[in-house]
Amino acid sequence: MKNETPPNPKLSTNVIRITVIALAINALVYLLMHNLLADVADPGIFYGLSFMVLFMPALAIYLHRQQKSTNPGDSDQLDSCEIDKTALTREIDEREARYRVLVENSPAGIITCDLDGNITTVNPAAVKLLGSPSAQATKQVNVFTFEPLIACGIAGSLKSSLETGETVTSETFYTTKWGKKVYLRMHCAPLHSFSGAIIGVQGIIEDFTANKKAQDQLKTYYHVIEHSPVAVLISDDKGQIEYINPKYIELTGYTPDDILGNNASILYEKDPAAAEYYQELLSAVRAGNVWHREAFNERKNGEGYWENISVSPVLDENGQIYHFVVLKEDITKRREESEKAKYLAYHDSLTGLSNRSLFYDRLMIAVANAARYQSRMAVMYLDLDGFKEINDTYGHDTGDDVLQAVAGQLKKIMRKGDTVARMGGDEFTLIVPEFEDVTDVELVAEKILKSLRQPLTKKALLVTPSIGIAFYPQHGTNHEALLSHADKAMYQAKKQGKNNYQIYKADQEASNSDRHQYNP
């Protein structure tokens, strides 16, 4: 379609003005030179010629200038193109320089190759990562045929990006020429021309060795915590629970849905004692200390258990607390076993009474309290008459039944604060602290005699006791003297016909030998 230029009103007006001016000048010249032109045969011709002489040059000059201003000439166009080309070249050079600086100074390795795999660009970081001696030497390598790059998968990622036209990300171990093993992460993307055609591929390589090591360590730590035999809870610095491991769920019965996102204080709201030590816990860990104790707690279902609990603050690089780690271990069985061992260490395994060691401890305490408060106390020594014959006739099992029955009767008779102990064999000792009168102790002895006059076992066997009694302070002011005198009084009871009790008398010393030796 022909391109038509629209009429220019200003140009038409100016042409008319030039015409009028030319006519006016021409008329003035005609009037001034009328007399001179009187002899001219045809003055109109002269007039017309003069008009053309004045008008045409002026019109031509105007039109030329007007055309030059609206449609620049070839020379002007040439100058403008030259200027534009120079600016474009300068801009391209500047962009190329900026790109080169970025590539050369990039901490990540950058490598580009053409469609045949020939390397076209490689920066110093890539040379260092690949272990090449120089960039020039690296450029001589074809990525598709270089065995180390093929083995580690870098060549495959570049080729895959070329074939699919998509970005390909891969991670791999790579051993450099110098034997250094690094873990690389590569992002490969195709390079396009201005027309959109793929002309090569670019790979950005990062040394991910440190990150990989850290990730592997985190995976290892996570695996250890997940399979730990100890319950683990992690909260932020405000106490908001962020994590619990499977052992915590098994120990407490609480699931992640129950407590994650809640404050750790909800775990101690049921038990007032736990709530009290929770404040102690907070005070310690907020000061940056590790808090530890054995405590009784409740599971979600209300079942009680003993736990060994420790809470540790986790500090950041600035020494500020940003997490807390709670470790819990169920020690119920261990505590029960410990209590059982402790119990057996101080109690007779057959009768459950205090044994010799615990009796001595309590006797010393009772003597010390009597001396401090100037009160009285009594020690009773009891031996079963004819017990040896029962063992010999009916066997030790029957003898054990008799001892257990006697122990049961003694525990029923004695007060809560009194002590009943088995010293060994068929011998028992009793401590009676804080009584009003001697007759109170004698009443206890009579109850013992009465309770043992009835059959105690299925075989209806009867046993009788011989009981010796010593009082503080008249019969001794230390535990050794009191126990020795009670033993001598018991021996005197046997001499008096058995099945009775005797209070220690000093005049019996000559006739009685001391059978008892202090051996705590």
- Residuewise pLDDT in 10s, the chain (520 residues): 444 555 555 555 655 666 666 666 666 655 555 555 555 445 555 555 555 555 556 555 655 566 555 555 555 554 555 666 677 677 767 776 776 777 777 888 888 889 988 888 888 888 777 766 555 556 677 888 877 677 778 888 888 888 888 999 988 887 776 677 888 888 999 998 888 899 899 888 888 888 888 888 889 988 999 999 999 999 998 889 999 999 999 999 999 999 999 988 887 776 666 767 778 888 888 888 999 988 888 888 989 899 999 999 999 888 899 999 999 999 999 999 988 888 889 999 999 999 999 999 999 999 999 999 999 999 999 999 989 888 888 888 989 999 999 999 999 999 888 999 999 999 999 999 988 899 999 999 999 999 988 887 777 778 899 999 999 999 999 999 999 999 999 999 999 999 999 999 987 654 544 444 433 3
What is the crossing angle of helices 479-495 and 356-373, to 10°? 110
* AA identity, residue 471: F
pLDDT of residue 2: 46
Rounded to an integer, what distance in angstroms lies between the CA atom of residue 432 and that of residue 296? 35
User: Residue 187: helix, strand or coil by DSSP?
Assistant: strand
> How distant, in Å, are the alpha carbons of 16, 119, 126, 149, 297 from that of 135?
75, 10, 9, 16, 68
By DSSP bridging, strand 464-472 and strand 377-385 are: antiparallel
Any residues with CB less than 8 A from the CB of 310 and at least 6 apart, and which? 290, 291, 292, 326, 327
From the CB of residue 143, how many other CB atoms can be counted at a distance below 10 Å? 23
